[in-house]
């Protein structure tokens, strides 16, 4: 006999969301120091990251609840080469942040 799928209810707004735990995952995108921390590349590029501590705390709460519920948790992280070649052409917000001794090759 096949095992019965475990249903979960997520307390979402405007109404709760019913889901099957074995077919549900929490996907966390780009929770990394470069985006969220003082001294990270967004901070160094001049973006205000002072509002990130509550975001980090809330994400930690969501992760804890997902793990408690037995959901799969997937982290996706954006990555860069030392030269930041993927960041765009010269005069992009990332210009000047490449690692010393590297040079971005742009078309």
Tens digits of per-residue pLDDT, 15-60? 998 989 899 999 999 899 888 999 987 898 899 999 999 999 999 9
Q: How high does pLDDT run on average in the chain?
A: 83
pLDDT tier for residue 107 given thresholds of 50, 70 and 90: very low
Q: Which residues of 70-81 are buried (b: 16+ CB within 10 A; e: fewer)?
A: ebeeeeeeeeee
Whose CA is closest to 82, among 64, 66, 94, 70? Answer: 94
């Amino acid at each position: 006999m096949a095992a019965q799928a475990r249903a979960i209810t997520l307390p979402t707004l405007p109404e709760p969301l019913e889901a099957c735990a074995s077919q549900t995952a929490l996907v966390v995108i780009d929770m990394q120091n470069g985006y969220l921390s003082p001294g990270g590349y967004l901070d160094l590029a001049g973006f205000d990251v002072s509002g990130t501590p509550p975001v980090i705390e809330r994400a930690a709460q969501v992760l804890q609840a997902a793990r408690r519920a037995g959901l799969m948790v997937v982290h996706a992280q954006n990555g860069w080469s030392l030269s930041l070649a993927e960041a765009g052409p010269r005069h992009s917000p990332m210009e000047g942040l490449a690692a010393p001794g590297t040079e971005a090759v742009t078309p």
